[in-house]
Chain A
């Protein structure tokens, strides 16, 4: 993904058009502008335009992060369009706000479905759980619903990287392999009630069994902002490390309290648990000392990866004052994944919702220029597309506060399987 100046983008588009016209075996119609070719089309596709949907939360609890993703997604597709679009067509994103309300998400999906070829994103656990089954019936691609294993049950869903269980299994592996946690010791798991936390706990429990450690589980909700009692209980159980499947508030509180109680143990947070603003809180020192983050997606500061660099540049141009964080590469790669699926559908001559889902199911080795681990396999329905995750250390020097340490795929992550 190169970033092209406007003039060259235009000429590239012209070349593509010429090439398409030249290669075409049937006589192209005389309609101007769009790519008219021999692909079958369906909902959301005209001769000149492809419409994709995005159900996000612009007025609810996730409004801030969602806005970053909307900006980046728009910028991505604008660039694609500038480079010639997909299958000779411009891609338009229909962004709707469900406000984290499942009822509204379903209504919006119903009214949107006839006019879109795929859903770029349905943000939020309860909202995506409500929409996924409907989209499966309609055979509509859905991306960007997070990493809960429960979403893998839907063949129309594309998970951006390793699922929560795989992340948590990797966290346990990493503690034993790299952070000096000994076999036979205890590892705490603090998790949100629900799909996200439940899936993470399952992965950690699987790894614990594989690796011979004990799990000390503590269930919390997003209302729990003070983890004193949980931290005391973990310290009392003498845990050698903690896996956290919660949110940034809980990450900071847990790290701070554990450190104040003298429990100097590593804490590994799952995907969305870190936020750069945590480094301004009183827990900053504790986080810098002991906190790690495991993500399915490359951290913002990993600019060695060309994909991340491209994503960051695009965002910096689209919104120079915007908040930076893990949402930037995430939105970019989600759009990239959808683009590859659309390209696949185009190639097989079936630019319909069903065609996109089929293209997704056939993609067994997807690369995203370092944004996600290479070789994502979406052909094995029901399983995580990869067992590889990014492990980062909280760092005051890195952009967005996370410094990439490694990409890992631990033994228990590899042996983990859903439904088995």
Chain B
């Protein structure tokens, strides 16, 4: 038997000389195999791919131990271009198509190392066979393609060198379930045509479905590996990555008094006939719903459904073109953003926006800004009143950190925190303002199933202890189902369904438009 196509043995990777990303990682990819590497954010999956494609240098990383062999040859000392010429090519995370280059030019750049015109033409024909839409849109700039088409282009671009091994970094990230299925089929098809694939996935369902074998990577180490079917059946993987072991429990409606009451009790949020247009594009069209005080209300929908637009209107960042939003008696849509905060509405952001160099405590104190009474002058002279007030703020912030499970991290700079903890800090900053309505924009984006279950628990606790209303924007369906009392489903800027999670889950409209083939 010939040696495996790719052999990674005892690989150690370090960034900036000090930060260990991988230690003692071994895996193999055989000729014609699809191998998946699963793991949460920060597990070192991307570092593994960069080590194999010899692209670590430009990110300040280096291989400090172990070997990577491709078709028997040690890749140490080669640069990326040399590796590509040997038939090993990586598709980067986030697709990264060249937006200003046309589809045809993107493919041409992909085939940069192929000097033989005939081989290149053949490769391009194969790409067009695989992705007819690319042939159709060959003269359009890559940036105009939809997310799924960009993923196809990114894969097609890599296929231009007719690789023996294709490295795929999170091909399903940020795509709607329907598209994820399609990408999975394409991977299978690419493999069927003779290309081995090393696939990195957060979406373990997708990864395990297309792979022959898989490894689980956690904090830079391989914690499990074996045939995909075997792994899929293991309890640990099921619980942490597939969400199978945890039954979906609807939250009981809270009747108890909150442990730490908010400054003001939550009010009813009424969204009426809300329409938002940007230029000629209608992002939201006549959306209406009501959030009852003290409940968790979820807004779900595929990418581009208008969820973030809605949150931005509620937070005061965007203006409504038509319609109105009332919070209690106040008309929220008539107020500027800073006045919206004054009503007791706080939000988090989809992409974490924290001051990375500052400590957790300082970041949380930023959220108290609205409530600080002492003026600049007395603050500067550290009057007794200012000092007393500051102490109170620090106590409140500490209490919130405790509630979110980050109490021990108060003095830690944010940039050293893990992803999940950063998300908690961001939520803490919003909570520090003691809002009565909290807007959470994709709080579990980029988290594994296990992590998102922990986050769900945190959100439950926050609602229970602080007694506020929560509007939750999410596209992770199981997450929402276990958490919200009411769900509003958006698609293409319109409300297509509303009701309890159970009711929405059965709605045929929702199944067709949102959940895709996997759920049907």
Chain A in direct contact with chain B (Cβ < 8 angstroms): no
Chain A contact residues, CB within 8 Å of chain B: none
